Structure 1
Amino acid sequence: MRFILGIDGGGTSCRAALATPDGTILARAKSGSANIYTNLAGARASIVEAAQMAFAEAGEDAGLVAETPALLGLAGANVGDNARQLEAVLPFRKSIVETDAMIALEGAVGSGDGAIAILGTGTAYLGRRGGEARPIGGWGFLIGDQGSGAQVGRELLERTLLAFDGVGPSSPLTDEILAVFKGDPDRIITFGTTAKPGDFAGFAPKVFDHAETGDEVAQAILARGLSTIEASIARFGLQPGEPLSLLGGLASLYEPRLSEPIRALVRPPQQDALGGAVSMAARLFGVLKA
């Protein structure tokens, strides 16, 4: 066995890293979307393309894909039988499909005990103790993702409408948001009928900014999200010395707001999710014979 592949696939792009069996990365490449829940066939095409591009970037024959085992961390792998279906149609010597959260955990804390909190447009948590991984959350925008950028932004618009009606408190933040929509609440409703999670999340930075000035509405929104974030992290029962890594675009904004016992556990990630996929590949495929 000359090479191994680590692959990180999501709704935006698919990244592949070609490495030696000990995990030394030789080349990286990126292709299109690879969410196997929304488009399994398209995800397969992006995965194969990224793998072949990584071989080419390393100056190696792309035909070696068929002789190379791959560890894939993919969005949508936790839904139904998607992962097994994909494994059956991939061209690699051996394929193991994990969730994108699993390779993020491996990258952040290594193969030992610890946990990650993914705090971005959505929220999800994954912890490991004694070799057993346990997920929390990650249920999506409609019924989950508390404290996420999408939920923070959506709640801001809700509270802006309540303020407009005189039902809830108004503040400089709700005044600013109403002005964004030209003072017309109907424009907020129209926006909400077609908005995706990322569109709602675009308003989240304003909440954090106004919370720093003491804005009543902004602080209430963040307090609600923070309570779920802390409760989710606490479920892992992390002990001193067991690392917690905060990942995602809102991680740096939430970190100083965490309680001291949780903040004391926070460590920077050792490497990114793609590096985690390579590390897992090196560990799991080490038993394969050349």
Structure 2
Amino acid sequence: MAITNSKDAGFALALDGGGTGCRAVLVDPDGQEIGRGQGGPANVNSDRDGALAAILDACQQALGGRVGADRVTAVMGLAGAEVSQAHDWLVPQLPFANARVVQDAVTAMVGALDGEDGIVAALGTGSVYSRRLDGKDIVVGGRGPIIGDQGGGNWLGRQLLARALETADGLHDRSPLMAEVLDKMGGVSGIITFAATARAADFAAHAPLVIQQADDPAARVILAEAERSIAAYIDRLQPADAALPVAFNGGLGRIFAGRLAGRWPMTEAKGSPLDGALLMARELVRQTA
């Protein structure tokens, strides 16, 4: 049923979007959830048109005719937002009364730390790292699915297929994982054909093979490189005088939190990137009331 009271105000919508998909949640002025939606890949740097369609789809599902978009304030945390200047071109295409678009690392940090100092490693299709310390925020890493996002699902999938090609060329022993990948993909020609048109989400779909067969010699090499990169970014954000607690989130966060346990103080993420976007949306409602 649509909400028709003209005095109702302060509806907040949050959206979290990355290379695999996007999720949206709508809450009423009291913070009670009244709608959810989900859509396809939403990396605004690598596929603007596809991301916009996915975002609008997820938002429309969340709205569901319950409230007009002109009475909603939205905050969206999106992969690629910082390099594509998404706030400038995307906001005018959104139907909301007020909207803000930020890098997904920002909403991941807000959700995970809930205002406290710390470091957040957000590991999903991509990877990005953020730090909050004495009221100042720093974001590093990411850089997109082609030459960045080391340790994320897209990167793991690319490394898996690249190593399969090297194995076919005789550079590595044919481990059980490599044999499985080459068989499933139709050999060298199948991998090359796939890679020619594959998107980040398509590569990331192969990442579970690496995780599930972590003891395979090929998987061990790939995971060791992922750990090296993740640790290097976290070390970059650690202050010199005292180690900050590190929170991992995203689809691969728990996996690498376990694999890297003991290197720094660790803390559980207090919330997800979607939670962070919602906190920011509700704060924006208060600021613009």
After TM superposition, the score normalised by the length of structure 1 is: 0.79
The 8 Å contact of residues 19 and 278 in structure 1, kept in 2 or not, is answered as no
Which residue identity does 2:252 align to in structure 1? L
What is the alpha-carbon distance in structure 1 between the residues aligned to residue 278 and residue 13 of structure 2? 4
What is the alpha-carbon distance in structure 1 between the residues aligned to residue 33 and residue 208 of structure 2? 37
Aligned equivalent of 2:26, options 17, 32, 50: 17
Residue in structure 2 matched with residue 286 of structure 1 by the alignment:
286
User: CA RMSD for the aligned pairs?
Assistant: 3.0
Residue 37 of structure 2 is aligned to residue 30 of structure 1: yes
Residue in structure 2 matched with residue 230 of structure 1 by the alignment:
231
Deviation string 1:11-52 (CA, Å, 9 cap, x unpaired) is: 63451322426xx23423215456555137646744763564
What is the alpha-carbon distance in structure 1 between the residues aligned to residue 85 and residue 14 of structure 2? 19
What is the alpha-carbon distance in structure 1 between the residues aligned to residue 156 and residue 44 of structure 2? 27
Residue in structure 2 matched with residue 49 of structure 1 by the alignment:
60
* Superposed displacement of residue 254, structure 1: 1.8
What is the alpha-carbon distance in structure 1 between the residues aligned to residue 272 and residue 235 of structure 2? 23
The 8 Å contact of residues 162 and 169 in structure 1, kept in 2 or not, is answered as no
Aligned equivalent of 1:107, options 104, 111, 132: 111
Residue 102 of structure 2 is aligned to residue 98 of structure 1: yes
Gaps of 5+ in 1: 57-61
Aligned equivalent of 1:206, options 206, 209, 215: 209
1:50 to 1:161, Cα distance in 2 relative to 1, 3 A: closer
Q: Which has the larger radius of gyration?
A: 1
* Superposed displacement of residue 126, structure 1: 1.9
SS in structure 2 opposite 1:79? Answer: helix
* Superposed displacement of residue 88, structure 1: 4.2
1:20 to 1:258, Cα distance in 2 relative to 1, 3 A: same
Residue in structure 2 matched with residue 271 of structure 1 by the alignment:
271
1:69 to 1:207, Cα distance in 2 relative to 1, 3 A: closer
What is the alpha-carbon distance in structure 2 between the residues aligned to residue 79 and residue 200 of structure 1? 22
1:6 to 1:236, Cα distance in 2 relative to 1, 3 A: farther
Residue in structure 2 matched with residue 256 of structure 1 by the alignment:
258
Deviates more, 1:31-40 or 1:251-260: 31-40
Deviation string 1:137-192 (CA, Å, 9 cap, x unpaired) is: 1112211121222222222222223223222333232233233345x432332232
Deviation string 1:56-114 (CA, Å, 9 cap, x unpaired) is: 1xxxxx24x43444333334431343302333454544333222321222111112322
Which residue identity does 1:185 align to in structure 2? V
The 8 Å contact of residues 17 and 76 in structure 2, kept in 1 or not, is answered as no
The 8 Å contact of residues 238 and 244 in structure 2, kept in 1 or not, is answered as no
Which residue identity does 1:247 align to in structure 2? N
Q: Identity over the aligned pairs, expressed in percent?
A: 33
Residue in structure 1 matched with residue 128 of structure 2 by the alignment:
124
Residue 81 of structure 2 is aligned to residue 70 of structure 1: no
1:161 to 1:31, Cα distance in 2 relative to 1, 3 A: closer
Residue in structure 1 matched with residue 5 of structure 2 by the alignment:
none
What is the alpha-carbon distance in structure 1 between the residues aligned to residue 244 and residue 25 of structure 2? 29
What is the alpha-carbon distance in structure 2 between the residues aligned to residue 231 and residue 241 of structure 1? 14
Residue in structure 2 matched with residue 139 of structure 1 by the alignment:
143
The 8 Å contact of residues 16 and 50 in structure 1, kept in 2 or not, is answered as no
After TM superposition, the score normalised by the length of structure 2 is: 0.80
The 8 Å contact of residues 8 and 100 in structure 1, kept in 2 or not, is answered as no
Which residue identity does 2:247 align to in structure 1? S
1:76 to 1:205, Cα distance in 2 relative to 1, 3 A: closer
The 8 Å contact of residues 5 and 51 in structure 1, kept in 2 or not, is answered as no
